[in-house]
Structure 1
Amino acid sequence: MEIKRDRMVHLGYAKYWRSDQIVGLLPIEEGRGPGRRTEVFVSTRSKPVTASRSEGSILHDMASLPDEARAAEAGSIAEDLVGALRELSPVLKRMLKNEQGFDVEYWAGRLRRVLEPDDGSEGQEDLFG
């Protein structure tokens, strides 16, 4: 998990703080209620800021997967989906296409083309030929 830098995180009730300055989140157990859900510890203050949002929602806004990890995960999911589509029986593929308008072969082909490495050479032969 990677913290998004310089991103303003909404803490509730018109309170915002920079994501990279938040160093800790502590759910309020006693006295928790409207306007009092999480103590947010920040690097620039000695006392925590009281937030009306849950620690999970604040953390979700602060963090994200790096773009490279997202791309790798999406590629892995696409490969799994292509494999699953290949395993469908021809009868089921025909039924999906005829009854629901879902062409399994078309979508499997699109996914395979997305997964192919892009060497950047497509259309280059026409530039200098």
Structure 2
Amino acid sequence: MEVRKDIIVPLGYGKYIRSDKIVGLKPIEDDRGPGKRTYVYVEGIESPMIASRTETTILSNIVETPSEIMEATAAIELLKDILDDINQIGPMLKKSIKKEAKLDLEKISFKIEEILNSDSEIEE
């Protein structure tokens, strides 16, 4: 992969950085949530910036990669984000949603975890 030169990359919430100044991306594992998805390490800045976009989305802006790989990776990232959001919903609200909207978030969460686990087995 080759970094595109002189591309301005949006990090979300009005933050932008030049593509060739980004030296590292790391997904936020703990306290991940809205507005807090990725640590972006920037040349010349000691502490990482916090981006609201996923590392995959940022990476797709700064490098040239085959579109099929990016589409599959973007789908996986979307599933991870949905799973994160579902896991933040309390059990009482989940029951209410299931009763009122006939939407079983526990079942959806389980299916997403199955997909993500099967995808990680394929990568190994």
SS of residue matched to 1:64: coil
Match of 1:54 in 2: 54
Identity value in percent: 52
Q: Which has the higher helix share?
A: 2
How far the C-alpha of 1:16 sits from its partner, in A, is 0.3
Match of 2:12 in 1: 12
Match of 1:21 in 2: 21
Q: Distance in 2 between matches of 1:8 and 1:31?
A: 27
Letter of the structure 2 residue corresponding to residue 8 of structure 1: I
Aligned length: 66
SS of residue matched to 1:61: helix
SS of residue matched to 2:11: strand
Matches within 5 A, 1:30-109: 30-64=30-64
Letter of the structure 2 residue corresponding to residue 47 of structure 1: S
Q: Distance in 2 between matches of 1:44 and 1:8?
A: 17
Q: Which has the larger radius of gyration?
A: 1
Moved runs in structure 1, 4+ residues, more than 2 A? none
Q: Distance in 2 between matches of 1:44 and 1:37?
A: 22
C-alpha deviations, 1:15-74, integer Å up to 9, x for none? 000000000000000000001000000002000000000000000000015xxxxxxxxx
Letter of the structure 1 residue corresponding to residue 18 of structure 2: R
Q: Distance in 2 between matches of 1:58 and 1:30?
A: 19
Q: Distance in 1 between matches of 2:6 and 2:44?
A: 14
Q: Distance in 1 between matches of 2:31 and 2:63?
A: 27
Q: Distance in 1 between matches of 2:10 and 2:20?
A: 13
C-alpha deviations, 1:91-126, integer Å up to 9, x for none? xxxxxxxxxxxxxxxxxxxxxxxxxxxxxxxxxxxx
